Amino acid sequence: MDLRSEYPFWLLDKGIIHSYPSLQNDIRTDVVIMGAGISGALAAWHLCNAGFKTVVVDKRHVGMGSTAASTALLQYEIDVPLRELIEKRGEKDAVRSYLLCLKAIDDLENICGQWAEAGFNRRPSLQFASYKKDVAALKQEYTLRKQCGIDLQWLDKNAINDKFGFEKDAALLSSDAAEVKAYSLTHALLHRCRQLGVEVYDHTAISHFGENQRGVHLVTDEGKKIKARKLVIACGYESAQFIPQKVQTLHSTYAIVSEAGNTDHFWYRNALIWETARPYLYLRTTGDNRVLIGGRDDDFSSPYLRDRALPTKAKALEHAFRRLFPAIHFRTDFQWAGTFASTRDGLPYIGSLPGKPHTYFALGLGGNGITFSIIAAQIITRLALGLQDDDARLFGFERG
């Protein structure tokens, strides 16, 4: 699957940080992970630290799929507002899902503290009402989140103008958000995992796999065999081919990054910014004083149409930024497009399919892919250890 256009900022910024050999012999292991992006890397980190002999394989180089194109905003809010998720899943499950995402940011901070190159930075997050008609729903969202114990503020028009310098009728300012360099973090995780005994293989495509009572067996496109007790499928949007039911809807999304500026302060604490409209615009800054803005999603996943639309979408994103911040110079330096998947309830799919107890899926679908990947790594590790996990039900395939 063609997951992204050429030249995403993170890839050009860092290049191929580490490369690994392809698999050249038959092997046995406790756990094999298909996918060496951020989801696979986080799963490997948790599993090897839990004592599992782990192997990671990917048909590409490490992090070269969707991870290289990730804009890596870390937020507890999912794409479905809490009030709507309560209607879809009930209050208990909806609140628990939001709180798990909140905890995942703390957990990722603890991991990233080992590597400065991961670029983890705590930020506030501002969600503004795109239109006056959105204010009432945003107020309801504020009340529900406060009842859950989430730390956030209600900003009126004057407060938004004072802190951010643009005019909107209302906004929520959350204290708990962050940004990270997903591509660099993926390489840091797997490099360290390899030092802990994890085997990592690039250019190793799996042609087929199966499961029996004792575990799983996989065969590469070059005929090499892998036997393991457990399989983790962390292939992102490409994982759909292994799932009998439809769990995702594919879209195209776009992003641009400005030239480096001469200031490291663009607006209030360089907060993440997004809006209530769907599809939504979102903004963040980078460590080298750039601004990233993304969005303008399309309801198609054709790589040809996506890449052809990119120049027009880049101009639209640049125009949207200038409408918000006319005083901030913005000239596009990088632009790219990628595939994006959504689910019916905005939540990821984590766990096993019926009748396949040795195969786990770690699918961080939706706008919170990295926080979902942390949750997936934790749940799958507990399940692999034979432990009961009450949260697994929230993200299971049986929910429909």
Paired sense of beta strands 282-285 and 272-275, if any: antiparallel
User: Considering only CA atoms, which of 155, 374, 157, 375 is closest in space to residue 271?
Assistant: 155
In angstroms, the CA 1 to CA 66 distance is 10
Q: Where in the chain is the domain with CATH 3.30.9.10?
A: 121-177+248-342
In angstroms, the CA 301 to CA 229 distance is 35
Query: In this structure, what DSSP letter does residue 299 have?
Result: S
Q: Which residues contact 227 (CB under 8 A, 6 or more apart)?
A: 26, 27, 28, 29, 215, 216, 217, 218
CA atoms within 13 A on the CB side of 139: 8
- Render pLDDT for 196-225 as a digit per residue (tens, 0 to 9): 999 999 999 999 999 999 999 999 999 999
pLDDT beyond 90 at 65? no
Residue 176 confidence (pLDDT): 96
Paired sense of beta strands 291-298 and 282-285, if any: antiparallel
Residue 69 confidence (pLDDT): 82
Sole residue written with tokens 């994006």? 340
Residue 3 confidence (pLDDT): 45
Residue 6 confidence (pLDDT): 56
Q: Where in the chain is the domain with CATH 3.50.50.60?
A: 9-69+183-245+346-399
pLDDT beyond 70 at 7? no
Range 26-41 average pLDDT: 97
pLDDT beyond 90 at 39? yes
Give the ranges where 134-291 is alpha helix by DSSP (H). Answer: 135-147, 157-164, 182-195
Residue that wins the pLDDT comparison between 66 and 305: 305
Model confidence at 15, in pLDDT bands (50, 70, 90)?
Answer: low
Sole residue written with tokens 């009998």? 244
Give the CA distances from residue 262 to residues 24, 154, 259, 378, in Å, rounded to whole numbers and listed in that order: 49, 31, 10, 40
Paired sense of beta strands 27-34 and 54-57, if any: parallel
pTM: 0.93
- Render pLDDT for 261-303 as a digit per residue (tens, 0 to 9): 888 899 999 999 999 999 899 999 998 999 999 999 999 989 8
Number of Cβ within 10 Å of residue 320's Cβ equals 16
What CATH number belongs to 121-177+248-342?
3.30.9.10
What CATH number belongs to 9-69+183-245+346-399?
3.50.50.60
Sole residue written with tokens 């956030």? 152
Model confidence at 13, in pLDDT bands (50, 70, 90)?
Answer: low
First-last CA distance in the chain:
25
Question: Which neighbouring-strand residues pair with 298?
Answer: 252
pLDDT beyond 70 at 171? yes
Residue 21 confidence (pLDDT): 95
